[in-house]
Structure 1
Amino acid sequence: MTLFSSLFHLSVGILSEGLKALWSPHTGIVDWGKVNHSYSEDFKYRGGDVCLQFEVCGFHTVPESQRFTTSSQKEFPVRVTSEKQTIRCRYVVTCGGLYSDKLAELSGCSSEPKIVPFRGEYLLLKPEKSSLVRGNIYPVPDPRFPFLGVHFTPRIDGSVWLGPNAVLAFKREGYKPTDISLSDLCESLKYRGFQKLAIQHLGYGLKEIYRSINLRAQVKELQKFVPSLTIADVTRGPTGVRAQALDKNGNLVDDFVFDSGSGNLGERILHIRNAPSPGATSSLAIARMVADKVEQTFSL
């Protein structure tokens, strides 16, 4: 059994144990934050390091003329740098979500597909109305439009989330309408792929913006699936930001995209530039696929 296959099977075992406390048998939903925390604690217990608040500024290898002048360089030839710290690596695998295109560019890759952030806003069903929804309700996706439409999702803590919508975020991590980055926003608006997407789905996009502002309009969309739902039954809830990969023709990239760096970095870095939904639900299957891709790319 290879190292990466062993890690995959180990993660399955950890998740199986963790789900005893984290799984809701009525919904099949886990608390993914707690699952990730469990993974990180086990990783540290086995000798790994978890570095938070590490904003990657660059990837570097020793120049060809000076390669492997020390044993450390030979064993760990890649340097991943932030403003204050450097980590030496043998190989690097990135999966940067909202910044996956930026990470790829740092190693000399193309800027496309571009990540355009879309904010998804949820409503919450009031606790006394939770009996209205007893299971997951998902609409059949309309192939004419991007994204998947509103969902009714019972959560592990007993709450019920309704939504989300999909509106352009004004910042890569723009979880609130007031979160604005002029550079991020200009980058999205200037990208020809986004311009083509916006023109193609102008009506759909305007309706999403209207429903984002008007709570009654959002509830009206939800009433298609639960007619007895009223505006008095809901409150505004949390939001998420979707890292949507777009190509230059305005197409939503709905498959995995892998990339490598240029030059010497190409032998040492693998970028996962797009991992389509449902990432958490399919994470263990994705882990197996990524492990296979790593073995193939680095000839391990």
Structure 2
Amino acid sequence: MPTPVRYLVIGGGIIGLSVAERLCREHPDAHVTLVEKEGHWAAHQTGRNSGVIHSGLYYAPGSKKALMCRTGAAAMVAFAQEEGIAHEICGKLVVATREDELPGLTRLQERGLANGLEVTRLTGEQAKEHEPHVSAVAALHVPATGIIDYRAVCAALVRRLEQAGATLLLGAEVLGAVRSGPTTVVHTTAGDIAADHVVACAGLHCDEVARRLGHQPSARIIPFRGEYFELRPEATHLVRNLVYPVPDPDFPFLGVHLTRGIGGHIHAGPNAVLAFAREGYDWRTVRLAELRDTLTYPGFWRLAARHYRAGSAEIARSLSRHRFAESLRRLVPDVQDDDLVPAPAGVRAQAMKRDGSLVDDFLIERSGSVVHVLNAPSPAATSAFEIARHIVSLLDESA
């Protein structure tokens, strides 16, 4: 009998779990190992996002994000139905609150239509039929957007992997690797693992892991913390589903928004401030070596020079609940400062080039028998199954 092919997947977020599950499904005779440095699955980006199934509205037509988001969303809904995971396709509003935002709303509508989405332009009064408490001069309604519990998705993937006989290792951090003929031997804190193919989906540490595996990535991860509040229960009636602002074309983040979670709570946020550690979920968490890597990277200072006004506003909003509430009141004027209850923050692993440009699309690089996922921010969770399909096809091409 031929020796089973050995696959090693690094990273236990939704991308790594999806890749491992796809490998088990398409190659049932293979030996699949998944390693995660934390003591539980979905510990970072996956477990700390707002649980939105994105439609693909914002992404450049023809980009990986645009193509994978739509297909991935359909696959995510099918998976949720099969596994009995709570989800809802509830739609969302993108709200223009000032006349000068109308051209941006038009551009966004044109992009959504180019991506094959149903996007309806609404007047301010029509917007109130969907969200009675919004302030809008005009809005877009995007019915394909939904909500889901991504932790439950990950738990279902873990169950499938266990049933398929995959080897699942928690508390196993990657330290390095050596090549031995066609085999890659990966050194981890749980021991050495020999593999014929390796897929690194290390999220916040993806560029570090790439270097440990002998690859020089084309971009550097810069961590941006996104801070959230929730509306207190007495204020949740102010938002029915999801309300977003018109994004600032000169700023690389969407701006604070209001989203209903699958449990009925209303998330408010996130902002975007530089994190002082890859896992810097608050201002107190500082890892000097990681902060030094950020501050000595030329791309960071080029980005900061271009966006220092917006960046300063984000910091001010981080330090003031009143300022945070003011941003929300642009969308929903009845939100009061004391309606905001602090909620867990997340950190976005954003890939950046040396020239200060943010990598705008999913970035997947290959080095021999190793595939590196080097930029997978939102809508990566929505697109996880399609990203996994793409990665497995890359591996099959080289087999």
TM value normalised by structure 1: 0.86
Contiguous gaps of at least 5 residues in structure 1: 68-73
The percentage of counterpart residues that share the same residue type is 38
1 or 2, which has the higher strand percentage? 2
Does the residue aligned with 1:251 lie in a helix, a strand or coil? coil
1:54 corresponding residue in structure 2: 172
Aligned ranges for residues 28-177 of structure 1 at < 5 Å?
28-62=146-180, 67=181, 77-177=183-283
CA contact under 8 A between 2:173 and 2:190: conserved in structure 1? no
Aligned ranges for residues 227-238 of structure 1 at < 5 Å?
227-238=333-344
Q: 1:17 to 1:186 in 2, by over 3 A?
A: same
Does the residue aligned with 1:50 lie in a helix, a strand or coil? strand
Contiguous gaps of at least 5 residues in structure 2: 1-21, 28-71, 92-145
Q: Structure 1 counterpart of 2:86, which letter? A: L
| 1:255-290 CA distance string (max 9 Å, x none) | 1222233xxxx2x21111112421111222222222
CA contact under 8 A between 1:100 and 1:273: conserved in structure 2? yes
In the comparison of the two structures, how many residue pairs are matched? 277
1:289 corresponding residue in structure 2: 390
Aligned ranges for residues 252-267 of structure 1 at < 5 Å?
252-261=358-367, 266=368
Aligned: 1:17 with 2:82: yes
- Residue 14 of structure 1 deviates from its aligned partner by 4.7
CA contact under 8 A between 2:85 and 2:149: conserved in structure 1? no
| 1:82-106 CA distance string (max 9 Å, x none) | 1341112121011111111011112
CA contact under 8 A between 2:217 and 2:374: conserved in structure 1? no
CA contact under 8 A between 1:5 and 1:291: conserved in structure 2? no
Q: 1:5 to 1:111 in 2, by over 3 A?
A: closer
How far, CA to CA, are the matches of 1:188 and 1:156 in structure 2? 35
Output the aligned Cα RMSD: 2.2
CA contact under 8 A between 1:127 and 1:159: conserved in structure 2? yes
| 1:9-56 CA distance string (max 9 Å, x none) | 9x87654322x3422465731111111011011111111011111110
TM value normalised by structure 2: 0.66
Q: Structure 2 counterpart of 1:289, which letter? A: H
Q: 1:256 to 1:25 in 2, by over 3 A?
A: closer
How far, CA to CA, are the matches of 2:23 and 2:337 in structure 1? 50
Among 314, 324, 335, the alignment partner of 1:218 is 324
141-150 vs 108-117, which moves further: 108-117
Runs of 4+ residues deviating >6 angstroms = none
Does the residue aligned with 1:137 lie in a helix, a strand or coil? strand
CA contact under 8 A between 1:254 and 1:276: conserved in structure 2? no
